[in-house]
């Protein structure tokens, strides 16, 4: 009997040990994918490749898609109720921004942000403050579902964004892993401003080739399954090896460094939609959106 009691006690202690060390599973929205830790070679915008340096990245989670109109409307409806009019104005969608890039755009101005048909299109014409507030709002929601973790939701740094966009391919030029803008069928690999040969001419004063302003290659654009003449649905085209869609093209994306956005947009030509492409970003624009990342740390491991 004594031996039986000792055996039972040992079994209980063993089971307790397994129970105590059970891994806590994080609960995140379905659209977030895991981005593993690793190292890559980086160089800052404007620097020569000779000034490259090795950068080590911690793991994080990134949204598979650009934040959509539907998601941002949900955030604005919930969060703005506790804000002053001045605060609301800073994070509100500036739909008039479409007028800066398109000749006739009143239907887009009126419907793009609000109409259900555009629910799954990227949120654009949003300020850096708006994107930051969205991340804070989402962080509060995710933290409630994960009491065992410390949750941080934010706009990625430029280096985090590049690391995720490369999809594990060292020094990739494009998220899809090769050096071409179209696949073997001639279909574009992302949403960018396509022009035909007839739109390219030589400036007789400078002797340099230029593209006619507003020129579009309609033969290519018409072949797109999404018929994208500006932004496309956030699930368009193909994801990279980390399952991330539209890391280049569609909407250029904000990064934590306030003065730039990266990846190029629907209004950029092929040479400006590489992973390392960047452009100035000072105010909301119809070409710029964002996608958040999540950094989660298990509390008992801090």
3-class DSSP string for the chain: CHHHHHHHHHHHHHHHHHHHCCCCCCCCCCCEEEECCEEEEECCCCCCHHHCEEEEECCEEEECCCCEHHHHHHHHHHHHHHCCHHHHHHHCCCHHHHHHCCCCCHHHHHHCCCCHHHCCCECCCCCHHHHHHHHHHHHHHHHHHCCCEEEEEECCCHHHHHHHHHCCCCCCCCCCCCCCCECCCCCECCCCCCCCHHHEEECCCCCCEEECCCCCCHHHHCCCCCCCCCCCCCCCCCCCCCCCCCCCCCCEEECCCCCEEECCCCCCCHHHCCCCCEEECCCCCCCEECCCEEEEEEHHHC
Question: What is the Cα–Cα distance from 175 to 66, expressed in whole angstroms?
Answer: 15
Give the CATH number, domain containing residue 45: 3.90.1580.10
The confidence band for 18, taking pLDDT boundaries of 50, 70 and 90, is very low
Q: What's this model's pTM, rounded to 2 decimal places?
A: 0.84
Question: What is the Cα–Cα distance from 122 to 113, expressed in whole angstroms?
Answer: 9
Residue 21 lies in a domain: no
Residue 112 lies in a domain: yes
Residue 15 lies in a domain: no
Q: Percentage of the chain with pLDDT > 70?
A: 79
Q: Across all residues in the chain, what is the average pLDDT? A: 86
Are 168 and 241 a contacting pair, CB within 8 Å?
yes
Instruction: Count the domains in the chain.
Output: 1
Residue 212 lies in a domain: no
Residue 20 lies in a domain: no
Q: Could you tell me the residue range of the domain that residue 111 belongs to?
A: 31-192+224-301
Residue 13 lies in a domain: no
The pLDDT tens digits for 65-108 are: 999 999 999 999 999 998 999 999 999 999 999 998 877 789 99
With CA atoms as reference, report the closest residue to 289 among 94, 131, 90, 158: 131
Question: What is the Cα–Cα distance from 284 to 279, expressed in whole angstroms?
Answer: 13
**58 has pLDDT over 50:** yes
What tokens appear for 17 in the block?
């040990």
Residue 218 lies in a domain: no
With CA atoms as reference, report the closest residue to 171 among 281, 2, 49, 23: 49
- Tokens 């507003």 found at: 214
The pLDDT tens digits for 240-296 are: 999 999 999 999 999 999 889 999 999 999 999 999 999 999 999 999 999 999 999
Count the alpha carbons within 13 Å of 5 in the hemisphere toward its beta carbon: 2
Residue 151 lies in a domain: yes
* Residue 43 confidence (pLDDT): 78
The confidence band for 5, taking pLDDT boundaries of 50, 70 and 90, is very low
Looking at 13-17, 23-27, 186-190, 227-231, which range is the least confident one?
13-17
């Amino acid at each position: 009997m004594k031996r039986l009691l000792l055996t039972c006690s040992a079994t209980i202690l063993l089971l307790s040990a397994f129970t105590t060390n059970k891994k806590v599973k994080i609960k995140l929205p379905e659209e977030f994918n895991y981005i593993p830790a690793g190292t890559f070679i980086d160089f800052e915008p404007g620097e020569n490749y000779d000034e490259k340096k090795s950068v080590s990245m911690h793991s994080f989670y990134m949204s598979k898609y650009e934040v959509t109109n539907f998601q941002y409307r949900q955030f604005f409806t919930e969060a703005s109720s506790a804000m002053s009019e001045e605060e609301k104005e800073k994070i509100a969608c500036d739909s008039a921004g479409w007028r800066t890039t398109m000749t006739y755009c009143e239907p887009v101005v009126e419907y793009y942000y609000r109409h259900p048909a555009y629910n799954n299109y990227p949120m654009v014409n949003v300020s850096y403050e708006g994107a930051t507030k969205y991340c804070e709002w989402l962080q509060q929601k995710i933290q409630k579902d994960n009491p065992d973790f410390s949750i941080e939701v934010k706009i990625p740094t430029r280096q985090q964004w590049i690391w995720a966009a490369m999809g594990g391919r060292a020094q990739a030029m494009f998220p899809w892993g090769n050096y071409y803008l179209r696949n073997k069928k001639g279909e574009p690999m992302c949403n960018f401003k396509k022009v035909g040969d007839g739109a390219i001419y030589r400036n007789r004063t400078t002797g340099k080739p230029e593209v006619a302003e507003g020129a579009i290659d309609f033969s290519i654009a018409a072949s797109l399954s999404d018929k994208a003449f500006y932004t496309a649905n956030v699930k368009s085209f193909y994801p990279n090896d980390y399952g991330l869609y539209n890391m280049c093209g569609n909407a250029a994306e904000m990064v934590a460094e306030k003065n730039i956005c990266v990846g190029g947009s629907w209004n950029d030509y092929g040479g400006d939609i590489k992973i390392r492409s960047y452009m100035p970003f000072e105010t909301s624009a119809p070409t710029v959106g964002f996608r958040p990342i999540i950094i989660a740390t298990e509390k008992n491991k801090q």
